[in-house]
Structure 1
Amino acid sequence: MGGKQPNERLTAWFGRSGWSKGELARQVNREARRLGAGHVSTDTSRVRRWLDGEQPREPIPRILSELFSERFGCVVTVEDLGLRCTAPAAASSGVDLPWAGDRTVEMINEFTRSDLMLNRGFLGTSLSVAAGPALLEPLQRWLAPVTAEPAAPATAGRAAQGASGSGGTAGRPVAGPRLTPADLDFLTETTTRFREWDAQCGGGLRRKAVVGQLHEVSELLQEPCDEPTRQRLFAVTAELAQLSGWMSFDVGIQPNAQKYFVLALHAAKEAGDTPLGALVLSDMARQMVHMDRARDALELVHLAQYGSRLSATASTQAMLFAMEARAHARTGDAARCRRALRLAEETFEDAEPDTDPSWISFFCLAELRAEAGRAHLDLAHADRAQLTRALVELERAVELYRGDRVHRRAFALALVAEAEALLLADEPDEAARSAYEAAEVAAGIRSERLDTALFTVARTAVARHGALAEVARLADRVGADSSTMRRAV
């Protein structure tokens, strides 16, 4: 018979979710309204037909992908659900964008405006998180040389476009610089202040301020300016977009984070700043590790390493090796992980902080120790002998983080607690105390990643040793903090 075959993939994901058919239908309808697809009206019988093999029309496959991805904390593609996407996945995710300066500016302006208008800074199913070829193939063009557009017959000088970008001001009248060098210095200094805020407070408290500044700079880029000014503005734009992406990632708004990272990569290319582009790719790799797509993370890191091999400082190269180690650890490849960590150590010895760009200043010795600790902690899931090394590295990181690195120190303390909980399974007091200290340090920080790390330790401790005083104290403290940290951004 030629009837429909049950959709076993969707059925498996649906069964694991714990949702009823009615709950899934309600969530689909809610997300469809947020997307503006008012024609979507799903009920339990429609969900049953999907499970039985019916292929829903767009935007439902994309909505389902987003819902299941959020539910499980990893990328669940349309194909993973056994569905077909009638629109190209890369286009719906906002990853496959034209590498043209003017178009990049327009998209940053539009995206930041939409982000600022929404209460929670979440664009819903108008975006999804791309992974696999849909993510990697468009980004390969980051390495392609920039070529000027063909000269228009009636526009003199269009072919003489600067080598820093494919869009820019070619073909338009260029006025004298409206911004002075002092103005550009001020914009750069403001971006540095935003980074310092993130180090102290996490992504939640200042995210909208950074997005607002990015929107304002994109407005400046739409005005005629000379090429040196344009390049500097694109460099500021790239840094602000990268930071907007990082803060969105930190508070758990993954689709927005990926879109900002992609826009930052485009802006960095227009600025001619390959090392900054490598930083953006390393952030995208970190996001993929977080979402259990370690092989995608490796591809992104390798792209960053190859593209910046002739221009990145030792600090940036060491950071990329450390990120490579993290990705190898997630795949369970201990030998390659150790090799990448060794290269990170050796390269970091050649670092000259005085010559580094300001955006890599976060990668200090404490950060290197923390990354090594995380890598060994991931390896410990297959080899418990790695736990001792992980604990040593993470405790060293906690000691090294300066007072202004509150966010990162709190995260390292949470990882210390996780390592102690695994290493000292029968003696939970130490883990509970470390996690409690992390919660104390994290007071006032808005970070979904930190929140999740603390909750992981607390849940494990309560499940195994809920009657102990230290564990009960931790559960109360983390519960109180989490209700605060989960408020709308």
Structure 2
Amino acid sequence: MGGNGGGGTNADKRPNELLGSWFVRSGWSKGELARQVNRRARQLGANHISTDTSRVRRWLDGENPREPIPRILSDLFSERFGCVVSVEDLGLRATRQTLSVSGVDLPWTGPQTVALLSEYSRSDLMLARRGFLGTSLGLSAGPSLIEPMQRWLVPPQSGPCAPQEPRPDSDAAERRRPGRLSKPELELLETTTVMFRRWDAQCGGGLRRKAVVGQLHEVTDLLQEPQSEPTTRKLFKVAAELAELAGWMSYDIGLQPTAQKYFVLALHAAKEAGDKPLGSYILSSMSRQMIHLGRPDDALELIHLAQYGSRDCASPRTQSMLYAMEARAYANMGQPGKCKRAVRMAEESFREADEWDEPDPDWIRFFSEAELCGENSHSYRDLAYVAGRSPAYASLAEPLMRRAVKLFADDSEHQRSYALNLIGMATVHLLRREPEESTRYASQAMDIAKKVRSERVSTRIRKTVDTAARDFGDLAEIVGLTDQLAVDLPETAAQAV
């Protein structure tokens, strides 16, 4: 690859109007974009990249740069606009890559899932810089994300939700296989995963993320050793839960491409484990990320995929969570009728949870009445914003959010959720043009944010305070809140990974 990241032939070259449009809207100069590309390339270890204004001009004129330039540009523009800007959105052609860095379109096979989990977790542990994992940094969206995920629905050999049983002709081989992992050791791995999940809920994603990635890497080592088939399936389940949690923690501290890659690998592992409810939960995490990134259409596709894939085996609590996420997607798409229907379905499914005969898996136990109220309230709050700050939808959000805040106030294990719902309450009061009440809730959220390593919480507080300052900047309470923000959550403060 050339030192400037140049592309191939210039024959029939025409101006790249898509890249030009994003570039103009960004407000960057050619020199500033070149400097950002060079800085990001150095962070990736691509020290041979040396871009200048003339090279940027050539990209705008239609030259197609080589990797990793397209994915660096995708990442930079995504960060600039707060939504996914794919390589294709920029009018660039991604070059063919090896399996380990080919985005989300990966082979749905056990050995390759293990190899990719091992490689990705090892890279994450080795690199000191936050989230820079080579050319896999690009986010996928639209058909390039949804179509590969649909392969999750390809049925296993046995029932729709049951793990595959060993083939009869393999029984003798299974008996001879040594199986290094004992039952107590496997149970300890499962218990450790539960412990990590508790830490994340209480302390945020920035405190223990590396520990989770390290544990995931250890599990992939075990998966590469001879094990009995039942043990292998359980190890895949542990790997899926750990990869989802690593993705969730990465999402929580703002490492969006890293989070997406872990979610995708977690879904592959869940399929190998034969655990479709777990797969639906992973898809819901991916859906939440897409809502956060301004892609509600993609979020809805992922949730419908989760619902369809687990319709015969997900517990009422899991179904309730999926309906609540469906409501969030519809709200952000500006579809109030479908949003309200999904909210009702979430509430009805949740009422059936107590009648469910089997215990829920640990990964869904977080979805309490408080979470349900918080999710549904956020759906109405989002509808209010999409509808031009509608006071009617804000009024629907207020009692649900109040209930969520009350319940989370008594829950010491879910401090991040408490903070997020306090922020939600602050935004609802801003929509209702009640700045004094908004200030009270935002101040409480700030007190918790100081103890929780969550960039998501900090970012939402900053956005809420910025909105309050823009709309009610002359009020003494808002001035005081802005001052508190500068002291408690200075924007330069780094979140530990």
Query: Could you say whether these structures have the same fold, taking a TM-score greater than 0.5 normalized by the shorter chain as the test?
Result: yes
Instruction: Measure how far apart 1:488 and its partner are.
Output: 4.0
- Please name the residue that 2:352 is paired with: 350
- Please name the residue that 2:8 is paired with: none
Structure 1 pair 169/105, CA: closer, same or farther in 2 (3 Å)? farther
Tell me the SS of whatever aligns to 1:362: coil
Q: Is the 8 A contact 1:89 1:130 kept in 2?
A: no
1:291 aligned partner, one-letter code: L
2:58 aligned partner, one-letter code: R
- Please name the residue that 1:365 is paired with: 369
Q: Is the 8 A contact 2:18 2:91 kept in 1?
A: yes
| In 1: Cα distance, 2:154 partner to 2:200 partner | 33
Q: Is the 8 A contact 1:120 1:488 kept in 2?
A: no
Tell me the SS of whatever aligns to 2:237: helix
Aligned residue runs from structure 1 range 225-374, under 5 A: 225-352=227-354, 355-374=359-378
| In 1: Cα distance, 2:68 partner to 2:342 partner | 42
Q: Is the 8 A contact 1:187 1:236 kept in 2?
A: yes
Structure 1 pair 20/172, CA: closer, same or farther in 2 (3 Å)? farther
Decide which of 486, 489, 493 is 1:482's aligned counterpart: 489
Under a length normalisation based on structure 1, what TM-score does the superposition of the two structures give?
A: 0.91
Q: Is the 8 A contact 2:124 2:133 kept in 1?
A: no
Structure 1 pair 468/433, CA: closer, same or farther in 2 (3 Å)? same
Aligned residue runs from structure 1 range 390-469, under 5 A: 390-401=397-408, 402-424=411-433, 427-469=434-476
State the 4+ residue runs in structure 1 displaced beyond 4 angstroms.
2-5, 88-93, 161-165, 168-174
Does residue 1:83 correspond to 2:92, yes or no?
A: yes
Q: Is the 8 A contact 1:398 1:413 kept in 2?
A: yes
Q: Is the 8 A contact 1:169 1:224 kept in 2?
A: no
- Please name the residue that 2:114 is paired with: 105
Deviations 1:165-196 (A, max 9, x none): 9xx99999963332222111111111111111
Q: Is the 8 A contact 2:243 2:266 kept in 1?
A: yes
Structure 1 pair 82/440, CA: closer, same or farther in 2 (3 Å)? same
| In 2: Cα distance, 1:164 partner to 1:193 partner | 31
Q: Is the 8 A contact 2:374 2:400 kept in 1?
A: yes
Decide which of 466, 471, 487 is 2:478's aligned counterpart: 471
Q: Is the 8 A contact 1:314 1:351 kept in 2?
A: yes
Deviations 1:308-347 (A, max 9, x none): 0111100001100111010011110111111111111111
Q: Is the 8 A contact 1:448 1:485 kept in 2?
A: no
- Please name the residue that 1:132 is paired with: 142
Tell me the SS of whatever aligns to 2:489: helix
| In 2: Cα distance, 1:124 partner to 1:23 partner | 24
Instruction: Measure how far apart 1:4 and its partner are.
Output: 5.0
Give the stretch that moved more between structures: 131-140 or 40-49.
Answer: 40-49
| In 2: Cα distance, 1:443 partner to 1:450 partner | 10
Q: How high is the sequence identity, in percent, across the aligned residues?
A: 56
1:371 aligned partner, one-letter code: E
| In 1: Cα distance, 2:286 partner to 2:176 partner | 35
Count of matched residue pairs: 472
Give the stretch that moved more between structures: 318-327 or 117-126.
Answer: 117-126
Q: Is the 8 A contact 1:66 1:125 kept in 2?
A: no
Instruction: Measure how far apart 1:143 and its partner are.
Output: 1.1
Under a length normalisation based on structure 2, what TM-score does the superposition of the two structures give?
A: 0.89
| In 2: Cα distance, 1:91 partner to 1:194 partner | 26
Q: Is the 8 A contact 1:164 1:269 kept in 2?
A: no
Instruction: Measure how far apart 1:422 and its partner are.
Output: 1.7
Instruction: Measure how far apart 1:39 and its partner are.
Output: 3.5
Instruction: Measure how far apart 1:465 and its partner are.
Output: 3.2
Q: Is the 8 A contact 1:176 1:225 kept in 2?
A: yes
Aligned residue runs from structure 1 range 136-155, under 5 A: 136-146=146-156
Gap runs ≥5 in structure 2: 1-10
Instruction: Measure how far apart 1:476 and its partner are.
Output: 2.6
Does residue 1:12 correspond to 2:12, yes or no?
A: no
Structure 1 pair 481/214, CA: closer, same or farther in 2 (3 Å)? farther
| In 2: Cα distance, 1:480 partner to 1:175 partner | 60
Instruction: Measure how far apart 1:117 and its partner are.
Output: 1.1
Instruction: Measure how far apart 1:410 and its partner are.
Output: 0.5
Tell me the SS of whatever aligns to 1:408: helix
Tell me the SS of whatever aligns to 2:424: helix
Give the stretch that moved more between structures: 317-326 or 474-483.
Answer: 474-483
Deviations 1:99-145 (A, max 9, x none): 11121111111111110111234125512111111111111111113
| In 2: Cα distance, 1:169 partner to 1:334 partner | 55
| In 2: Cα distance, 1:212 partner to 1:170 partner | 34
Aligned residue runs from structure 1 range 155-194, under 5 A: 163=165, 175-194=177-196
Q: Is the 8 A contact 2:26 2:80 kept in 1?
A: yes
Structure 1 pair 223/371, CA: closer, same or farther in 2 (3 Å)? same
What is the root-mean-square deviation of aligned Cα atoms in Å?
Answer: 2.5
| In 1: Cα distance, 2:101 partner to 2:13 partner | 27
Gap runs ≥5 in structure 1: 149-160
| In 2: Cα distance, 1:395 partner to 1:241 partner | 33
Tell me the SS of whatever aligns to 2:89: helix
Structure 1 pair 488/198, CA: closer, same or farther in 2 (3 Å)? closer
Instruction: Measure how far apart 1:36 and its partner are.
Output: 4.2
Q: Is the 8 A contact 2:16 2:59 kept in 1?
A: yes
- Please name the residue that 2:380 is paired with: 376
Tell me the SS of whatever aligns to 2:131: coil
